[in-house]
A and B are shown apart, each in its own frame.
Chain A
Amino acid sequence: MSPQVQSADSLRIECDMDTSKMGVLVSLGGIIMLFVTFLATFSAMVAKELATINLNGDTIIVAGVTTLLLILSSLMFHSSYNRWNVRNGTTNFNYLYASAFFGIVFLFGQIKLWLMLVGIGFTSNGNVLAGMVYLIGAVHAVHLIVGLSILCWLGYQLKNNRQVKSVRYQMIGWFWHFLTVLWCIIFVFFIIIL
């Protein structure tokens, strides 16, 4: 018995925006569960008084500035998408570059922050709360690096006049904004709980 022969066109499922969006939302839900577990573990450690961290003014300022940079990066991406959407597929690359640039600066800011914390005696193997701060920051940074890679891919595609689906641009934005919101929640959480 021979298999049913179908043309490639008949097999191509309509590009369904809602399905893609739902897929991204479920994936983000998984990332939320990951960080909820980290933060719950962190809270349990604080509640059990396993260690203490006293942040000094400098570290809070650096953390605050880097957080603002990430918010700025998110806003830049939003502007980039809006222009691309309004101009029917042509974008202002400056906004996209700025978004990636601020994202990279945020990552360096994180490293600076970690070095400052180590400098005032909070090492990852000497203080479990400091270890959690580094770990949560690092896992967030890994996601951010993934996001930056996708931004680079997007920029490359646009630069070479390759067609980018609107929904794909929008989903990349969702991921990037999500990472910003996630970091803001983590930052506020740290400030409140420490």
Chain B
Amino acid sequence: MEGIKMSSSKSIMSTHIFSTDHKTIGKQFLFLGIFFLLFGGFQAMLIRWQLAYPEQPVPWWLFGSIVNGEAGMITPDVYNQLFTMHGTIMIFWAITPLLIGAFGNFVIPLQIGAKDMAFPTLNMLSFWTFFLSGVVLLVSYFLPLGVASGGWTSYPPLSLPAGGIPGLGQAFWTLSITLMGVATMMGAINYVITVIRLRAPGMTYFRMPLSVWGLWLASILNVIFVPVIAAGLIMLLTDQLLGTQFFLAGRLAAGGGGDPLLFQHVFWIFGHPEVYILILPVWGIVSELLSVFSRKPAFGAKITVICMSTIVVLSSVVWGHHMYTTGMSPLLGKTFMFLTLLISIPSSIFFFNWLATLWRGSLHFDPPMLHTMAVIWVFAIGGLTGLYNATVTADIYLHDTMFVVGHFHYTMAASVLFGGYAAIAYWYPRMFGRMLNPLLSKIHFWGTFISINLVFFNMMATGYAGQHRRLYNPGEFEFLKPLADINIFITISAFILGAFQILFLYNFIHSMVKGKVAENNPWKSNTLEWTMDYPIAHGNFSTAPQVVNGPHEYSNPNVKDADWVCQTVKIGNES
């Protein structure tokens, strides 16, 4: 293990830029993630503009002048680029750094009682490699023929020059994701080893907070499956740049050619676990925060952990449900359907554990709790609509419609967004020493909660009515013309959703400077990160904490005069 290096002369470079302190790196990931969240979100607004007002000039307040189209309109090519980059950025450069990067870094060592990550220098390299990957992606906006436009999945042959997309945009896309994968691997190795090796004395696995469990399981999935997509991307890159034909077939291939479906398999062997990589940290954070703000132990915490671990295993054998319409054998389709539906059992169990945690709790509706409860709602809708997509017969109709878009935005966007906001609101006092403005936080929450449901629920309705997910102008189809009004309604809701995020950004920045100074443990939490004075020095703990309790000892009758007790304080006669 590397030691924590403290240079005698502290410059801004060593403390804020190339810092090896996990807390600083966590904040770096947070800022980068918020930047990309806004950038990816802006592209979503442009997509919605086109769907509601097809082939009309983009207004000035959506920065219409920078849209590279005829008379300020979004052309079909630009539209393809928009949805490709929106999906790519949101998944890989917004959600990943926001949850795993920011809170994995900030929270894991603090909550397990470690001085830092197991490999601090590798941790720093992870951030800067991630930063570099983002730069490569952004540079592709300046290419003569524009950015990638083959969808966030970039299936070949579409994503290859022979398949119809000219220029280097796709190659930059592939390269940037490969780099991002390297950065993710560095981080994941660190998280996995840190949890295994650096837990404080007494911090057994089942005494770890559930947020650490979620982040740790996500990292295990990362270590296993990121190399899989890396292999696929390397092959795709050689197809794009060196003329190999691994994923070309038929008349597009000069020689015998390969098979485009192989890429789909490789992509989804990674891609489906990726869904859980994104959502597992949220599940952990939600399980944790529900306990904190209900002032009672997390119901069935060990069962929740077992369920999350079961899902980690099952997530690796269900990739085929993304490919029901590729002509796979019916037996294989049924197998994937069965395995996929099996995931609903552990999911339901921990979901009911969440509800049971709330039951008869002393609920405190602070901003983190509001966002946490929103996750319960949106994840319920996302999870239940997933059952239709998992079923072969329903999926053949729903495949590639806006129903799927609505579904995965409920699970991957809304759940993760609210989970991220919950985490930001909860740990903001530890990160910046001040509180977010609670009134602005609540206004932001309600605005976001209402508008996000209006957007994604109605997307599912349009999909059920037959609207394909990647249509440039749905109005060109007679049977979709009646959906024009609902598309306008979704778009207006999306703009409202976007506007409320500006309010969040204002609150986030303003509170950093002018927010109320936070006390050391504003939420009266049990976990170790609240035991130090702010700012927490590099090294976190002056002496290794001795953990004697689990993280959920709220309202314990053996604790007098308080409804919480730190994990390091003995309760009554218990040891």
Chain A residues at the B interface, C-beta cutoff of 8 Å: 1, 3-6, 8, 10-16, 18-20, 22-23, 26-27, 29-35, 37-38, 41, 44-45, 48, 50-51, 124-128, 131-132, 135, 139
Contacts and interface: CB of A to CB of B under 8 A. Distances in A.
Nearest to A17: B1
28 contacts: A3-B533, A3-B537, A11-B3, A11-B4, A11-B538, A13-B1, A15-B1, A16-B1, A23-B118, A26-B193, A29-B224, A30-B189, A30-B224, A30-B226, A30-B227, A31-B227, A33-B224, A34-B230, A37-B228, A37-B231, A41-B231, A45-B259, A50-B257, A124-B238, A124-B243, A125-B242, A126-B256, A128-B257
A6 B262 CA distance: 54
B536 interface: yes
A98 B538 CA distance: 43
B192 interface: yes
A19 B193 contact: yes
B254 A13 contact: no
A19 B259 contact: no
Interface residues of B, number: 54
Given A11-B4, A126-B254, A128-B245, A38 B533 contact: no
A41 B266 contact: yes
A139 B246 CA distance: 16
A22 B197 contact: yes
Given A3-B533, A50-B257, A124-B244, A13 B116 contact: yes
A131 B245 CA distance: 8
Contacts of A8: 5-6, 8
B534 interface: yes
B565 interface: no
Given A33-B227, A131-B238, A131-B244, A125 B539 contact: no
Contacts, number: 140
Nearest to B7: A8
A146 to B, nearest CB: 12
Interface in B254-271: 254-259, 262, 265-266, 269
Contacts of B232: 37
A16 B117 CA distance: 13
Interface in B8-43: 8
A73 B246 CA distance: 33
Contact of B235 (A5, A16, A41): A41
B256 A11 contact: no
A120 to B, nearest CB: 15
A44 B266 CA distance: 11
Contacts of B185: 27, 30
A15 to B, nearest CB: 6
B532 interface: yes
B535 interface: yes
B259 A48 contact: yes
Central interface residue in B198, B224, B232, B256, by most chain A CB within 10 Å: B256
Nearest to B231: A37
A139 B232 CA distance: 13
